[in-house]
Structure 1
Amino acid sequence: MKFLRNLFLFITLFNTFLFAQFEKNILILNSYHRGFLYSDNIIKGIENSFYKTDEIDVNVLYMDYKRVNQKGYLNKLLELYSLQLKNKQYDTIIAIDKFAYDFAIKNKDKLFNNIPLIYTGIETLSEKLPLNHYSVLSKRDITENIKFINRVMPKLKKLYIINDSLSYEKTNLLVEEALKDKRKRFEIEYIEKSTLEEITKKFSTFKRNEAIFFIKFYEDKTKKLNKDNQIERLIHNIKLPIFITDDLFLTKGVVGGKLVPITKLGNVSGKLALDILAKKQNNLKNNKIYIDYDYKFDSLKLREFNISPYYFYNKYEIINKPLDFFQRHRDLLEILFLLFPLLVLLVIGLLHNIYYRRKTENLLKERIEFDETLLNAIESPIFWQNSEGKIVDFNTKFCSMIDIPAQNLYFSRLKKFRTNKYVGRLLEVLEKYERNPQKYSQFTFVNKNFEKKVLLIKQATYKNDGIDLGLVTIFTDITKEIEIEKEKERNQEFLIQQSKLAEIGEIFSAIAHQWKAPLVEITTIAQESFYANGENNKENESYVKDIMTQVKYMNDTINDFQDFIKPSNKKTTFDIYEAITSLLKIVEHNIKFNYIKVDITLKENTNVRVYGYRNEFMQSFLNIINNAKDELVKKDFKNRSIKIEIFNDQNKLFVNIKDNAGGIDEKNIENIFNPYYSTKESGSGIGLYMAKVIIEDKMHGKITVRNTKVGACFTIILEQN
């Protein structure tokens, strides 16, 4: 037993020794940090090239160049690696990007003496490589990508070039050279010093015949480094077609282009390392390998922006494309091939059938594309659900309405996206519509642009051979029609109000005419009495003067009120301050009788001229003053006050009417401008509604109300020329 145990131990140690002799160690010097998509994809390609062998041991050192670029950092790295690599012997070193390569060159005698070194990255090396050094290179093809954009977007009017300050100087000359003969055809705008938030806001809406050429944006204008997931969100939120130079973000919402294959860079670098270890690298020209570009496009984005590269390029790759016939029927074809000896005749018949079927499919595809174009041209959001409630098709307006990408909707139930606020709102109204289509066929919807829309629901089932296959839902925008109806109602109210005021004006004119004659008689009688008496003393003269003053005041008041009650037939330019003071003069006694103090503050250099209906404005103002007076009268306290402020701000005239009556109940404040809504027992609810119609619809201004610490504050805002 002892002999067998010793023999087993010897064999184990011998195998370990042999394995150690044949195992090769490769060191990857990564200029960046773990989680950086660019270098992670290169490392992924390197490791894939070692997949078929167990004799390679890979060690990765992350130098974190982007996040830690401080003075003395290289010296610290050298100290760390001297300790870390002291007892480790490597057969090959792969340096990812220039920082790692320069570090390896500078410290080769201390750390990596006589070890083969491979440089890999997008940036090219201009210098001649030293002995035992190799490179796997690629470069962003700025020129070909701009030519490609020019071809596939013949109606392009403006091209935005996003390129951060880290790489701007290196690519600027290439971009300018590529754009030399293009500037006459379309406008160019560089974006190299900005932020993710600014770019997202700038391109949050679709603009026809505009596109983005995205080179790099890892550093914003504040020197903050952007993470890969932040750039992905930026790309996802941009509503313009985006063309790129490498395949890092190909699946994140870009169109594509002539791309540097990042993973392929790593894969070729790994294979070169294997060749170096096997001493098969001597056939390299100048010890350099150049990676070919790939034309790659996202099918969903090509369809979204109606871009077709197929007429210009023969070799390209499409991602996110629909499954073709053979992919859909793969299992069936495998069975047919297994049964091929017995089913030769059947296969011939099937091939004949397939030929005609493909022909029919092409015709159907053309029809589908036509229907899709037609469907997307319809302004109303539309979507189809099958009998299981899954979404089978929709138009782009529906995607935009609920702000969900098209690829996420196919064959998903709408309830899956209930947490989306737009979908949640739709589900709510659709559930009500199912219970009572007549009552809940119309609803309001606030879209992602914060626009309030009124939509009409229409649903219909689609059938095949009498069997229900699903449900079509159409949302028709009737906002303009509703606004037109409301405008008609407001105009009708306005005309009715003017008609009433005209009738009141005629009645008051008759009354005024009847009053003026007695006032003249009173004046004559007073004068005759004074002169007939013959006693021209000061007391009698003062008595007559008092009578004459009161008669003149009554006559002026009648004239002022007669002017005020007349409706304005057309717009005029008038003085707001004069209109307000004239109105206050009419109601002066009523205000004073209730012990209310009215203060008017006119700020210095205020332009008080506005264009509109003077008397209607005064009636609106009177409504607000009377409401304030009524509320103040209810309160049993001293120092009742109404303060009026008139001032300019940004070419607009502001009028604030503040009282100290305690304010408006919060449950009523949202509704006080609604027609026939009143907080008074005998109120008609038409006064403030007509004030809103006059100020907003007829004078294109704005009227609002809010509570202050002591009372209510009405604000009237009017436009000025």
Structure 2
Amino acid sequence: MLKILLVVLVAFTFSFASKEVLLLHSYHKGYKWSDDISLEIEKRFKDEKDINLTTIYMDTKHIAGSRYLNQLGEIYKKQLSTRDFDLVIVSDNNAFDFAIKYHEYLFKDLPILFCGINNFDKAFLEQNNMKKYMTGVVEQVDLEKNFELILRMQPNLEKLVIINDKSKTGYAVKRDLRKVIEKYSKKINIEYIDNLDIDNLKKKVLNLNRKKSALLFVLLFKDTTGKFFTYKQSFKKIYDVSQVPIYGLWDFYLDYGMIGGLLTSAKAQGEAVSYMAMQVLNGKDVREIPIIEKSPNRYIFDYKELDRFDLSVKDILEEYEIINEPHDFFRKYTKLIVTIVIIISVLLIMIFSMKANIQRRKKVEKDLQNRIKFDKVLLDTLPNAIYYKNIDGKFLGCNKAFSDLLDIPKKEVIGKNARDFFPSDIANKNELIDKRLLKTLGKNTSEMTLHLNDNQMKHIIIKKAVYLNNDSSIGGIVCIMDDITEEVQQKQFLIQQGKLAEMGDMIAAIAHQWNEPLVELSAQVQDIQTSFLLGELKNSQVEEFVNDSMVQIKYMSKTLTDFRNFLKPSTKKVIFSIRNSFEEILEIMGKQLFYSNINMKINYKNDDLLIYGYENEFKQVLLNLINNAKNKILEKKTEEKYNLTINIEESKNHNKIEIMDDGGNIEANIIDKIFEPYFTTKKRGTGFGLYMAKVIVEDKMNGQITAQNRDKNVVFTIKLPKKR
């Protein structure tokens, strides 16, 4: 008894379980034939709450071949491995062939329904042991009936041009066309085309005789150049140049200019196969459902195209369908009555609500006027200069701060452009930024130096953004100008303070540099004096003394020049060599490092890298980091040899400099604070050096500077963006 109850319970549970259906399309989403089949199946399953439909597209219009299909098989195996399907529906020949080939691998023992199959042969199912698993709907274009239809509709026809491609479906139709063309070529001139590119095909169609020619458009998804088209694109290109009626074989070209014909309907295919699917899902064995071998084709015509070429099917066919047909008088009249009733109802509602709407509108207008006045006062109160302009670059208005900055009345700003207020280089830069913003609808921040009429120089950050109108169209660009002159001057002052703070070390370096040439000069003076007192002084000795002395004096003079250049601030960004910067620093610091028992090594991993920035300030950064390493090593007061290693390399987006010494780590609790202003661990330190290094590298040169302990070494890393 318990076993019987268990069996009944299991059967009851399965009877209410949802059904899983897989729909496998040969082609892609957006291809109307596939979309129409899907719509009909989805429409049939819509009210069936216990049916879950999964749709997959093989996309074989764009890519095919055995390798691709094998890859699809492997992908679907992984994709569907956790799904238990009750039924598989395949659409068109590629999916049909795929389902048979991979039945054991992917869909073992599952029933399969097919639709849209050309050149169907029952023997093919038997040969592949699929007869007990498959049934469906055959797709078969009726070429001969379409030829008969064309000749009956155009009895004076002399030439019929057939347009086809070399797709799998195109080849299938071509095989069937051979016999039909042979039969009817005695009555009219038939030209079959599947070997032209789209441009030559358009020329061919354009030259057809309007009254004595017609087109039979089969398929055109790819021309001979390999260019792909959607069904709309290819048909439209032909339709745009055609002066003759265009007949077809498939209903998805209707409503795009095809006159019609006996059409194979994707909707009919989807409708038929979805009916079969419901039978299978309700428990019917697939072997009990006969294959629909007669394709459910329909005579369908477009009224607009019939009227365009003055053609009629009334006396030719008994059953047919016409789309886009105008309503008769009674239908027009009925619609008019309904429309009038609706309009009267709407007008009555409008009358009752009109007063309230008018009052509400007056209130909104009053609030809007108050808001406009408030916004105007707000803009003029803001200290930042603000202006806004249209998409053509014409100024629409500004606030008081902008007119005061340029000493121009606000009303004179309207209608002008950037070239009326700014130098040509600044105006050109801003025009390029504006064009980019109008395309991307984004924001932009840039910097400029402005020279005013009263000889003032202003450093300004410009922030721009696109604004939209109420209808979401682009209105123009609003710009906010932020005066950072004082901040820039303060930073420059701090940089100079940093230089002065290091002047003691610089003077010590110069003393080291001068020591050797002074000793050399002293020895030469004593030699020349001794020679003079002994009466052995010769002209050649005097000349040699002068030459040697001038070499030493020029060397000392160059040291002073380098020192003076170091103190002089850079006024603008330039492109300069990293190698030259280090060589100039070594001219000043080289001997000091040598006498400090420090072994300095520079590794250039690239020939020579260029930097875009402020040259003297950048040399100050390098000098500061090298000096810090030297002083830290000297504090140890040992005879041990220490190393100062500099690595210079280039990457894709930036140039990188590593300055590494083995003089001991920075304490972990302060390493994050060393770049803060006034932070120092030295008794007489100012706390300017590393802070100004960070300002120069990151604020002025858009780079990055970091410090870290690496084993027993301290590594300072500088990354600078490349010049674009």
Give the shorter-chain TM-score range. 0.3 to 0.5
Q: TM-score, normalised by structure 2?
A: 0.42
TM-score scaled by structure 1?
0.42
